[in-house]
Amino acid sequence: MSQTPSKASGESLLFLTDEQLRKGIEAMFFAYRGFTADPDRILEERGYGRAHHRAVHFIRRSPGTTVNNLLSILGVTKQSLNRVLRALIEDGLVLSEVGTRDRRERHLTLTAEGAALDRALSDAQSHRMRMAYKAAGPEAVAGFRSVLEAMMDDTMRAQYDALKDRG
C-alpha cells in the first residue's frame, strides 16, 4: 500500500507520496469549509440551510426545470428535496407551475425575491473564489478546474457539463 519513493517528490513526472495525497485530501476538506462559510452566514439570517442554497442555485441555473431533473442534479431523494422546495415556494422565492405537456411535472423558476437571494449567495461565494483565483494566478485556476473535473463521477460530470457553456 505505502509507497517507497525511489528518488524524491518528482516534478516532471507524476510521482505522488502518501503524504502528498493526504495533503490534497486535507486541502479539499478545509477549502470546502471556507467555500461554504460565507453563504452559510447569509442563509442563517433567513433560516435556511445549504439544501436551500443548492436548490436556488440550480433553479436559477436551469429555469423551468422539473423536480425530477433537480433531483438527479442534487443527488438526493425527492422527499428530501420536497421539504426545502415547499419552504421556498411558501416563502415566495420559487414558483412551481404544473407542466403543460405533462401535467405530472412541476416546472420550477425563481421569483424576483428568489433571484435576489441567489444573487446575494452567489456574490458572497464568488467573492471568495475570485480572491482565491487572484492569489493563485491564472494557470493555477486552470489546474484547479481540471483536477476538480477529473475528480467527479462520470454521471456527475455529465450534469456538470450540461449546465450552460464552459467557462
Partner DNA sequence: TTGGAATGTCAACAAGGCTGACGTATTGTC
Partner DNA sequence: GACAATACGTCAGCCTTGTTGACATTCCAA
Query: Contact residues for DNA (CB under 7 A)?
Result: 47-52, 54, 66-68, 71, 75-86, 96, 98, 101-106
Cell numbers at 152, concatenated: 467527479
- Residue with smaller CB distance to a second copy, 105 or 144: 144
When CB distances are held under 5 to 8 angstroms depending on the partner's kind, the choice from DNA, a second copy, none that residue 119 binds is a second copy
**Interface with a second copy, residue 164, by CB under 8 A:** yes
- Residue with smaller CB distance to DNA, 34 or 143: 34
**Residues whose CB is less than 8 angstroms from the CB of residue 67 and which lie 6 or more positions away in sequence, other chains included:** 78, 81, 82, 85, 105, 106, 108
Which of 63-71, 85-93, 104-112, 128-136 is the region at the interface with a second copy (rule: CB under 8 A)? 128-136
Give me the numbers of helices (H) and strands (E) for the chain, helices first please.
7, 3
- Residue with smaller CB distance to a second copy, 106 or 128: 128
H or E segment at 166?
Answer: none
